[in-house]
Structure 1
């Protein structure tokens, strides 16, 4: 009668390693440094540095502005103004507006997206600090003299 039901108590205990998505609602504003262990959906405004261990989605009503943004994958439907470091894929929808330099493993850009800045694809973790300009085959002075170019 007073026996403890271990199966029932195990089902009700929270799972500490499972992190749900974080949500910034419309008409909400965050200012400062944001660190999110899971996924992040932004319908509001964030001013500051953003680091997301999971995926980040900025909706059409969302705005993120700051010095740097890091995430596993990023989908932009709204406005983003920051230096962007993405381990996986950056996707810019037709309604996206991105201003800033981007390092990502892969980039998808829909027709109509607005982008200003520098993009570099490749493994973000393996990117060196500075790289020299690659030489193109046949780009010697015989065909392209220094004067006039």
Structure 2
């Protein structure tokens, strides 16, 4: 079911129906019905039996195998698995969409945060650090 490796894991079973605002810091798997808003710092997995209708779903990483209507945002990554249905906008640093996914919406990629604080260095020094980081990535 879940690929989570560390931390606590909570599972909302197939018979579970939740309506409201959900906040958590560990890992959550939803296999039932959810309606509302998710604002989490942990990882989230939406199983193939899950149906979620959200204003916004936000977590560190989100793996979707079920059905979601609403916007999804992940600090790290979003993965849409084969057979999933997503109708809403996606925003993440990394994104994987498998074959067989039904998706309707916009995609926004989050840029990685620069290693240096742009407000504490001179503009020329900041520009040079970006050039060096760019060259290291090659």
Report the TM-score when normalising by structure 2: 0.74
Q: Which runs of 5+ in 2 are unaligned?
A: 1-5, 115-138
Q: What is the Cα deviation at residue 52 of structure 1? A: 2.0
* Separation in structure 2 between the aligned mates of residue 52 and residue 25 of structure 1, nearest angstrom: 19
* Separation in structure 2 between the aligned mates of residue 124 and residue 65 of structure 1, nearest angstrom: 29
Query: Using a 3 Å threshold, how does the CA distance of structure 1 residues 20 and 100 change in structure 2: closer, same or farther?
Result: same
* Separation in structure 2 between the aligned mates of residue 75 and residue 85 of structure 1, nearest angstrom: 11
Q: Which residue of 1 aligns with 2:49?
A: 61
Structure 2 counterparts to residues 1-149 of structure 1, below 5 A: 20-123=8-111
* Separation in structure 2 between the aligned mates of residue 39 and residue 52 of structure 1, nearest angstrom: 9
* Separation in structure 1 between the aligned mates of residue 62 and residue 70 of structure 2, nearest angstrom: 13
Checking the alignment, whether the CA contact within 8 Å between 1:24 and 1:42 is kept in structure 2 is yes
3-state SS, counterpart of residue 33 of structure 1: strand
Write 1 or 2 for the structure with the bigger share of strand: 2
Write 1 or 2 for the structure with the bigger share of helix: 2
Q: Deviations over 1:37-91 (max 9, x none)?
A: 2111001111000112111000000111110010101100001111111111110
* Separation in structure 1 between the aligned mates of residue 71 and residue 78 of structure 2, nearest angstrom: 13
Report the TM-score when normalising by structure 1: 0.68
Q: CA RMSD in A?
A: 1.8
Is the radius of gyration larger for structure 1 or structure 2?
1
* Separation in structure 2 between the aligned mates of residue 77 and residue 71 of structure 1, nearest angstrom: 16
Q: Which runs of 5+ in 1 are unaligned?
A: 1-17, 127-149
Query: Using a 3 Å threshold, how does the CA distance of structure 1 residues 125 and 112 change in structure 2: closer, same or farther?
Result: same
Q: What is the Cα deviation at residue 95 of structure 1? A: 1.1
